[in-house]
Amino acid sequence: MATLELIGLTKKFAANNAAAVHDVNLNVGDGEFLCILGPSGCGKSTTLRMIGGFEEPTAGDVRIDGQSVVELPPNRRPTAMVFQKYTLWPHMRVFDNIAFGMRLHHVPKEHIDRDVKNALQMVGLSGYEQRYPSQLSGGEQQRVALARALVLQPKILLLDEPFSNLDALLRVRLREELHAIQRRIQITAIFVTHDQEEALSLADRIAVMNAGHLEQLDQPSQIYAYPKTLFVADFIGVMNIFNATRTGDSLRVGQYALKGATGVRGDSNLSIAVRPEDFTFGAPTDSHNSTEMWRGVIDQSIDLGHYRKVLVVVPGLFENETTALAHRLKVYMPKSADAKEGDSIALYPTRYLVYTDHTQPIEVRNQALRTSDETRRDDLSSVAVSSDALANSG
Amino acid sequence: MATLTSATPTREMALNPTLLWKRMRRELLSVVLVVVLFIVIIGPMLTVIFWAFAEQWRYPSLVPTKWGLSYWQETLTRADVTAALPLSIGLATIVTFLSAVICLPASYAFARMNFPGRQGFLLSFLATNAFPRFGLYVSIAVVFFRLNLIGTLPGVILIQIVNTLLLMIWIPTAAFQNIDRSLEEAALDVGASRVRVFLQITLPLVLPALSAAILLTFVSTFYEAQGALIIGVPNIQTMPVLMYSIINSQVIVQYGAVISLVLWLPSLLLLTFAQRFVRGNTISAGFGV
Ligand SMILES: Nc1ncnc2c1ncn2[C@@H]1O[C@H](COP(=O)(O)OP(=O)(O)O)[C@@H](O)[C@H]1O
Ligand SMILES: [Mg+2]
């Protein structure tokens, strides 16, 4: 089995000024499933294609099992790629598509027959040997493409958004099957996607990319809980992001003061990020300190089955309130919460992250404030963040 | 069920006078089209066929008054015909072959490499077809005269190759361009060398379009008369050139008719072959440069 190292990997295309991939460093362990996640155009495919040998890096190195492969053309690298487009050769039957690579490697015929059969069985397409690609659905074509890649027993399996052309249900099913296969044969896999739900459900670790840079490399739960940069905070899951100002140890968001942030240094202009499930809330009462408890009106209350998504307008919270829709606070509440549209509400973040330009984000947990209705806050702790909730971001 | 429900509106239509008129008009139109088609295409063809098998055809009769094969024997044993037929076939073969050797690699380059002036180059091949051929040939003839190419086989080959450039460059270029590069990358990925990728992936995929280009080139070269006439005189006489001169100088219609039928043969054979081999849409798709 195999490990992969990317060292200072950089790619500049002659046509563009900015590097498509800029100084990417990462290690992938033996049998690990790594997802490269990022918005369209951030350099995911270029990174993958440099690993597969289809693009030549401008700088940096690609090492497989400690050996540099950067000088080798794709046909001499121990990698196999599944492409986003359907790339079965239309003039060859399924059998010949899968056998093509083995024949090039002079594998004996009996072995080819056996391996093709096994590979097709693995992707659930036994008996499809004699079909032409035009006789297969998109999902079946990508399964055959996976079989074609795996049958050569590559050290590293590369997948570039292989399921993004399929409908949602099929995409989830193939993703699960791929996951099972990868676990079974313990192959090191790099999977490129722009779909965070896909990344969160497949990956051992996720590499989040933005504009050619590697922003964060972490386990999915870490990425969700401790996004290292504001970009990751915004890109992964749903996040409320505010501008804040710092004077000494006290932070202000709009007209409100934020408690509990100590040790923030550097900039006086910061950003605050709060997950929708990290609020405590209740009906407003006079006893609340008005500069600390946020007061707003529920604009929309959406029952999403196992939880409730509530959009709250809080005057004086966002700096620029011209585009009202974008500046509603997103709050997840238990389904049972009594939150009707038009209700007044008081709320406060119990956990937030502070982003400055220079340092790692600082996590602040704040249980000091209490709303009048304690039971609601306790209900809140039972709101589990499921990947469905994350998928509904954006 | 479906036939029942669709039958009802048809009957109603038949009863409605305006709809009836509309339908009649449509049918009238197709009748007119068939008649026109017959007069313009089938009619002349039939006349030629009749003449080729006519021993005698007197004026008022719609068909030959005496049928027979004697003119076939007479025409096909003429010395100029027995010389021209192999010459034409040989010439078309050589021209097609040379054109393929020159144009196919060039079209691959046009499709795959981005060099300055690429688009202009591609369009320049249109120039040979965009202006009156005759003028072009005459000016080429002036040059060829100085080079002592007039009346020689190489001269005719050259002029006919010029004719084939458009077809032989544009169709294959479009075919190479239409191939998804990731099909080639996938082959490279499983271990194929670049040469093998070309031979086993790229070439099979463009083969239908290449065959179409080659067949069309062969047929059009076989029928090419203007260039062969202007450059080839007086030594090189291809079948189409011969046909012109026979039709112009002979009072016997049957000679021309028999030669016409002989000239149809290769194109009929090749197009039948092409139809089996080339998917119907390749030729039209080929022009989408
Ligand atoms: N062959 C190329 N020539 C020039 N620019 C390219 C080429 N391939 C990709 N790019 C540019 O590099 C950037 C990253 O592209 P890509 O890696 O395909 O992004 P992603 O896969 O994340 O959507 C984009 O800005 C894209 O326009
Ligand atoms: Mg991509």
Chain A nearest CA to B170, separation (Å): 23
Q: What is the mean pLDDT of residues B121-131?
A: 79
Ligand 1 neighbour A40 (Cβ under 6 A) = yes
In angstroms, the CA B48 to CA B64 distance is 11
Cα A17 to middle of ligand 1, angstroms: 12
Whether the per-residue pLDDT at B1 is higher than 60: the answer is no
Q: Is A131 helix (H, G, I), strand (E, B) or coil?
A: coil
Is the Cβ atom of A193 under 6 angstroms away from ligand 1? Answer: no
Average pLDDT in chain A: 86
CA A43 to centroid of ligand 1, rounded, Å: 6
For B62-87, how does the pLDDT look when each residue is reduced to its tens digit (9 = 90+)?
Answer: 888 888 888 888 888 888 888 998 99
The closest residue, in CA terms, to atom 20 on ligand 1 is A41
**H helix runs in chain A, sequence order:** 44-52, 94-104, 109-122, 138-150, 168-185, 196-202, 220-225, 230-235, 374-380, 387-391
Q: Where are the domains of chain B?
A: 2-68, 73-288
Instruction: Write the CB contacts of A385 (distance below 8 Å, at least 6 apart in sequence).
Output: A224, A237, A275, A277, A332
| pLDDT (0 to 100) of residue A384 | 32
Mean pLDDT value across residues A121-134: 93
Residue A37 has pLDDT above 60, yes or no: yes
pLDDT at A87 over 70: yes
pLDDT digits (tens, 9 = 90+) for A58-74: 999 999 999 999 999 99
Query: What is chain B's length?
Result: 289
Least confident of A354-358, B111-115, B231-235: A354-358
Is residue B279 within 8 angstroms of chain A, CB to CB?
no
A240 Cα distance to chain centroid:
18
Summarised one tens digit per residue, pLDDT across range A154-182 is 999 999 999 999 999 999 999 999 999 99
User: What value does the mean pLDDT take over residues B114-138?
Assistant: 82
In sequence order, the β-bridge partners of residue A344 are: A297
Subunit contact B190:A52, Cβ cutoff 8 A: no
Q: Is B73-288 a CATH 3.20.20.10 domain?
A: no
Q: What is the DSSP code string of A229-279?
A: SHHHHHHSS--EEEEEEEETTEEEETTEEE----S--S-SEEEEEE-TTSE
Q: Which residues of B touch A80 (CB under 8 A)?
A: 189-190
Query: Is A74 in contact with B188 (Cβ distance < 8 A)?
Result: yes
Residues in A touching B180 (Cβ below 8 Å): 85, 87
Rounded to a whole number of angstroms, the CA Rg of chain B reads 25
pLDDT at A288: 57
Q: Is the CB of A44 under 6 A from ligand 1?
A: yes
Residue matched to tokens 């009106």: A297
Average the pLDDT over B169-186 and give the result.
93
Q: Counting atoms of ligand 1 from 1, which one is nearest the CA of A40?
A: 23
Q: How confident is the model at residue A286 (pLDDT cuts 50, 70, 90)?
A: low
**Half-sphere exposure of B159 toward its Cβ, with a 13 Å CA cutoff?**
30
Cβ–Cβ contact B205 with A under 8 A: yes
pLDDT at A93 exceeding the cut of 90: yes
The Cα A13–Cα A328 span in angstroms is 40
| pLDDT value for A388 | 36
Is the shortest distance between the CB of A45 and ligand 1 below 6 Å?
yes
Tell the residue number behind the tokens 């005269």, with chain if given.
B145
| ipTM for this prediction | 0.82
Distance from CA of A102 to the nearest CA of B (A): 8
Lowest mean pLDDT among A16-20, A126-130, A147-151, A275-279: A16-20
Q: Could you tell me the two tokens for B250?
A: 């002979």
Q: Which residues contact A281 (CB under 8 A, 6 or more apart)?
A: A331, A333, A345, A346, A347, A348, A371, A376, A377, A380
> What per-residue confidence (pLDDT) applies to A390?
37
CB A114 within 8 A of CB A108: no
From the list B182, B191, B196, which residue is nearest A85 (CB)?
Answer: B182
